[in-house]
Copies of this chain bind each other. A is one copy, B any other.
Amino acid sequence: MIVSVNPVTFSDVQTAAQRIAPYAHRTPVITSASLDRAAGAKLFFKCENFQRVGAFKFRGACNAIFSLSESEARRGVLTHSSGNHGAAVALNARLRGIPAIVVMPENSVAVKRAAVADYGARIVSCDATLAARDAVSAKILAETGATLIHSYDNDVIIAGQGTAALELMQEVPQLDLVLAPVGGGGLLSGTALAVHGVSSKARIIAAEPAGADDAFRSLRDGRIHSQTDPQTIADGLRTALSERTFAVIREHVSEILLVEDEATINAMRYVWERMKIVIEASAAVPVAAILAGRVDVRNLRVGVILSGGNVDLDHLPWSA
């Protein structure tokens, strides 16, 4: 893995875009007259739900894994995300032809294990505590010499995630504002670097579940708050910031908007019904911020990163 002494920059995002181009989809930007009317703005949706593995996470994992030297790559990669990042690491390891290990708690749901296993990664189970996870991971890393691919506290991941916004900025001129969801901050910090790399005038605003408001509090107080007991259906946004992502966010992000789950569910459903695309709850949070009037977008040109589309069709939030 590339270890940067210097903080991650726009130039890293540009490099990432070239590196992942042979593997990642250049996802479409779509617009919707219904949503524009509802928002009173011109909205441009960057559809990472159409990305490989169904989420932007493919970009960061791709950049991380294809950044490895040959000798690093041969020893494999390890991660401990059971969600979209785990699937993204597994697929990119397969694309590069190297081993991947995903450490997952014993109580993780079968469908997530199956998704990771389908991409050919080895799953190692551990007790459902952070301590157990870290101990198991450290042991495997020491034994194998594999590289840990953290899901957001990682410069190459951040640079990779920023490529979605870079494509958006290249395709849609003169955006006033770009919205992205925030969890651990990998997508948000990459987005921030990309947006301000292209346009110093565009504002970057994040949306966060009210029940997992650590980033909001962190930005307000100028120091990282941990995420103790997140309560939100947006399961991609339950993690806390790291110093690495927080540094970028403090510099570039204007504001973090809090969104109740009810508004997120309504927005998710509205996008399915009107735009006929499947987005996951985490992706609906910025849409909800707009539709619920948490931000004044009237007459603006607004980019929205739709982060992913992986949902359990047997358990939709509006039929719970």
**What is A's interface to B at a CB cutoff of 8 Å?**
28, 49-50, 54, 269, 272-273, 275-279, 309, 313-314, 316, 318-319
Q: From B276, B313, B318, give the contact of A277 (CB < 8 A).
A: B276
Q: How far is the CA of A269 from the CA of B316 in the complex (A)?
A: 13
A236 to chain B, nearest CB (A): 15
Contact A316 B313 (CB under 8 A): yes
Most buried by B among A269, A276, A278: A276
Contact B278 A272 (CB under 8 A): yes
In the bound assembly, the distance between CA atoms of A278 and B54 in angstroms comes to 15
Would you give the shortest CB distance from A204 to chain B, in whole angstroms?
25
Question: Do A319 and B314 have beta carbons less than 8 Å apart?
Answer: yes
Q: Is B319's CB under 8 angstroms from A273's CB?
A: no
Cβ of A277: which chain B residues have Cβ within 8 Å of it? 276-278
B residues within 8 A CB of A279? 276
Set of chain B residues within 8 Å of A309, measured between Cβ atoms: 276
A316 cross-chain contacts in B, Cβ below 8 A: 313, 316
A167 CA to B111 CA, complexed, in Å:
39
Q: In the complex, how many angstroms separate the beta carbon of A54 from the nearest chain B beta carbon?
A: 6
Which residue of chain B is the closest to A309 with respect to CB atoms? B276
Chain B: which residue is nearest A33 at the CB level? B52
Q: List 10 A-B contacts (CB under 8 A).
A: A49-B276, A50-B276, A269-B313, A276-B277, A276-B309, A277-B278, A313-B319, A314-B318, A316-B316, A319-B319
Residues of B with C-beta under 8 A to A28: 28
Determine the distance from Cα of A319 to Cα of B273 in the docked complex, in whole angstroms. Answer: 18
Q: How far is the CB of A191 from chain B (nearest CB, A)?
A: 20
Q: Which of B50, B278, B318, B319 contacts A278 (CB 8 A)?
A: B278
Closest-by-CB residue of B relative to A28 is B28
Report Cα–Cα, A111/B274, bound state, in Å: 14
Q: Which 10 A-B pairs have the closest CB atoms?
A: A276-B309, A276-B278, A49-B276, A272-B278, A277-B277, A50-B276, A276-B277, A269-B313, A272-B313, A278-B278
On chain B, the residues within 8 Å of A276 by CB distance are 49-50, 54, 277-279, 309
Chain B residues within an 8 Å CB radius of A319: 313-314, 319
Q: Are A273 and B318 in touch, CB under 8 angstroms?
A: no
Q: Which residues of B contact A313 (CB under 8 A)?
A: 269, 272-273, 316, 318-319
